[in-house]
Structure 1
Amino acid sequence: MNKCLVVILALCFHFANAQKEPNATYQFLKKIDDINYLNDSKNKSSIDSLQLIIDNSSNDTIKGYFYRIQAKFLISQLEHDVALKSLDKSIAFYKNANNSLGIIKSMMNKGGVLYQKGETKKATQEYVNALAIAEKKGYKNEIAALYKNIGLVYYSQGKTKEALAYNNKALDIFNQLKSKKDIAATYVNIGNCYFDDYQPQNALLNYNKALKLSKETNDNQTIAKLYNNIGSVYINDLQDTIKGIDYLLDALAIKKQMNNQNDLIIQYNNIAAVYLDIRKYDLALSYNDKAFELASKSGNLEELINVYDTYALINSAKKDFKKAYDYHKLYSKTKDSLLNIDNLKAVEEINTKYQTAEKEKQLLQKEAEAKKKTTTIIILSLLAFFIAIVGFLIYRQQRLKNVQQKQEFELQSAITQIENQNKLHEQRLAISRDLHDNIGAQLTFIISSVENLKFGFPTMENSIKNHLTKISDFTKTTIVELRDTIWAMNANEFTFDDLSSRIYNFIEKAQSAKENTAFKFLVDDSLKNSKFSSLEGVNLYRTIQEAVNNAIKYADATEVSVQVQPNENGIVIDISDNGKGFDLETIDFGNGIVNMQKRIEEIGGIFKIQSELTKGTQITISLNK
């Protein structure tokens, strides 16, 4: 099943400065606004009938409030472009009324719609602009909501550290305000970050905190999202599919009552993926058909990609490889379309900025030429009388010009360096996305195909089945190593805390596979904040992983220890076991030990190995910091 979580945007639709508005109109708007989702024909009729009255009103704050409510209805019906027009009207009316709180809330809603459309850059700019107003005015609730939304943007880009930082800042403020609904929504987003970092227990801890608060406030919208997310944890990380499906179906029941179309697309596709995993193909098709119907209607390319991918996997599992191939082509075509749309927008934006900069540059050049001509005329006219002053001015002008040129050169060098760093980071992100989306999907397809072969031919010889099992196990191991590689590529640097969590996860898996072997992993507290480059981090992790694997596979050890200590020059890592050992003078080192040594030497470290027959093996890694 895809890790398809529901994230929570601060789409706030509350009224500001109500005491200043005509009471009857305000009360009517407030009654509509208090509904969780404006999703039925009765509410649509109420909104449409009120528009003529509102447009004839002279009260700009009431108008701003109305168009924000209208946008709320349009968003629930997936009419995002029309909703954006309503929000632009709302912001304009609030500006006429000088209502800063209304402006902030409508800007937040606009950022949320842009985010749902996949326009993260525009969404972030809207949030940042709203945050500047909120901080100037001291609106704590809106500041916290904007922190949460900016954290969501970072989360969507895979930057879970930054996302956690912004969500924790939001949580501190919401706790001060004792706002249970907002606290619950923030816990959901924090749980999502832990879920993406493969920390299921931390994810469940935060989800359950949010669920408790949401039940206290009867917030069915958030409860439905939490049921979906908790179900995803049980299915993906805790391998409890039955319990996970129960949560997903509970979420679907609530979302059907609310009739939020975008949430229903995600939920139907989520459930289809689970039924695919447990080989209930007819149920998988049924739910995926419902997701396809809604996604096609809304033109939601992001969700269509997931739906086509699920169709391809279902038909492959059913051995209808022609249909599977056709859907895979639709998946690739839709994905390429989305990427091309984004690229065209990015190119157009860059071109616009370039043209604007060129026009400004030409204007400055003309102004400089005009000033130069004027200065020349004045100097020639007064040359006889002010030759000394002119000489001083020329000297001063030249000196300022030299300083300016030096500053411009330094600035240009800094800009070039930043641009190179940004390009490198973008390339790394692109590579990691390709690895995850293409190679990861292909490896999953291989596992599915191998399992289908085993189940499709029950009379197959045991030797062939065993060989297929080995292929499946090897592919699963490759997926785990691929995730580790993506994790390393997406970070510019690591702390020992980051590295420790990965090593702990690996040792826990080793413990489950080797129950009679005691594992010990100790890191000195003074080293937890030590920083490593991406290359250093991944080389250390791979070396420790290989050393522990060797102890498990070949040494027959009952104890394996990994200890990290500081020394005068940097860090020392000892990996030791009490296994059978070997004779260093007669042993022929395999690729594993040679590769470990190369990895450590590549990052400027020293690799040593000591072993004696019956006395175990010790590997020492010294790294200067």
Structure 2
Amino acid sequence: MTMAQDLRTTLGKAFTSQDSSDYYFKIAKRLIKTQADEGQYFFCKNARCTDYNQLDSAVVYGNRALKILQSGNDIPSLLTVYNNMAKVYRKQGQYDKAVAYCLQGIRIAEKEKKENWIAFFNAMLSLTYHDFESYPKGIYYGKKALKYWVSQKEKSPDMISNALNAVAINFDDWNKPDSALYYHKQVFQYYKGKDTLNVGETYNNIGNTLLKQKKFKEAKRWITSALKINDKNFELSQGNKDTDYYYERATNYTNLATIAHELDDFNEAEKLFEKAYWFSKKSGNAEKLRDFYMQRALFNKKRNNLAKAVEDQESYIKLRDSVFDVDRAQTFSELEAKYQNEKKEKQLLQSKAEIREREIEIKNKNMQFLVLGLISFALLCIIYLVYRQQKLKIKQQEQEFELKSAIVKIENQNKLQEQRLAISRDLHDNIGSQLTFIISSVDNIKYAFDIQNEKLDAKLSNISSFAKDTIIELRDTIWAMNKSQISFEDLQTRIHNFVDKAKEVKQEIQFNFFVDSDLKDRKFSSIEGMNIYRTIQEAIHNSIKYAEAKNIDIKVKKLGTQIAIEIKDDGKGFDVAAVAKGHGLFNMQKRITEINGHFNLQSAASGTEINILL
């Protein structure tokens, strides 16, 4: 136990040490006692070489680690080596091998039900297909990874960021910049404040998309920020120059050099391309070298340095031809087809096994069901008889309850009606008689005294008219209170009475009142009926008083499940905005809104139209 602990401690130092890695690996090698120890040793060698761009050594140690780990139970280490191997082959441009290791990793992760690793390999497939310029597949696998990481209760910003960037760069190089920017900028939902030091890659990628859109100055700001973030991280890591160090700067300087040459700053572009070349070579990444040679070829062509342009173009073509060939594309298809077929075969075998188990289970249960069926039938007969008796009892109780409820409801309605009648009698006998006394008193004053003051005379006349109008409204209120329900036919009669009185004042106006025959018996509560009546009354009153109309039409029609009321005149109209806050219009709209209706008013020089939907 102590020796195993010492080995793990030593391997940890070998992996993290900047200058003494080889020293600690030598000590660790002497501590190996078992096959599991040897597997951990080669696992750490593979991880160290992968992270520090020693790609050929990473492949050698990775294969040795896999041989040992495949026969053991250390699944996390095994899956990590598969991921490292895929990463190495992706850097070298051997994308078919990268895909093969990803798919093998997924097979193991599916078998062990390691969903986080399945998502991780899907993200790696997305990046690999991007480098191979198979962007639709890259987006497909990136979205699969993203869907998993976003669905987790405890979300990992780093994993979500990796998946978002994978999807975005596929959209970017597929010439879909809007989608690329959409996915890139989602990264900032998961990183804030100092945490933005983790997303230098996103800053660069946004700049890269803007560069392709020829928004050079804006792109330069984003990429310069990315470079500053990378330099800050390098400072915080105490000078740790791992593989990401070279890869990030290769990208940053290639993009900045491209911007400089697009802006015709050839001297600056020359300096930046020199840095980009050095970092691209050190990164050992085939995709970065391709990008560099292509961009520098365009730069040399623009400044008429055709010899160097041709040289860079040939380097680009040579590197591209080593990556993109028919055989490799065919290998991609075969790998995926093999993986999908294996998956289907496993599902088929699993289904067949489940079916066989189900058949045996059904046979065993059939006999049990037969015995249970006979017992159940006897029980059901007993239960049915008890249930029937209970149901009859419940039905009888429900009928008694309904009868009592109906009696209580009728009694309540009678009491309510008695209260309404009492209130209406009080209104009629007290307030009505008092208003009549006021009218009589005002008229007596006018006739008893010779009033010379015209203003006083007019004021007394207004008081008399106001009291008479109040008596009419009081009668309308008493009429509504005395009815538990009001129909359109009741409303039509009431409005006709109002119109007849209006004709006495304005004989030149022609009134037309139409109610759809299907609606005449339609019932409303007293409140609803009164609100409709008051609204129509107010609309007619306004047309008589202000519109100078010759015709006033009131139409009530049925529109599907709705009732439409239209009050229209051919008067001079008015400016709706100027009088929108008037009490009359406000009250009409308020009354209709209170009964869940819709109120609309339109006015022009040709007249005014009010539409109500109930």
Q: State the TM-score, normalized to the length of structure 2.
A: 0.46
User: Between Structure 1 and Structure 2, whose CA radius of gyration is higher?
Assistant: 2
Q: State the TM-score, normalized to the length of structure 1.
A: 0.46
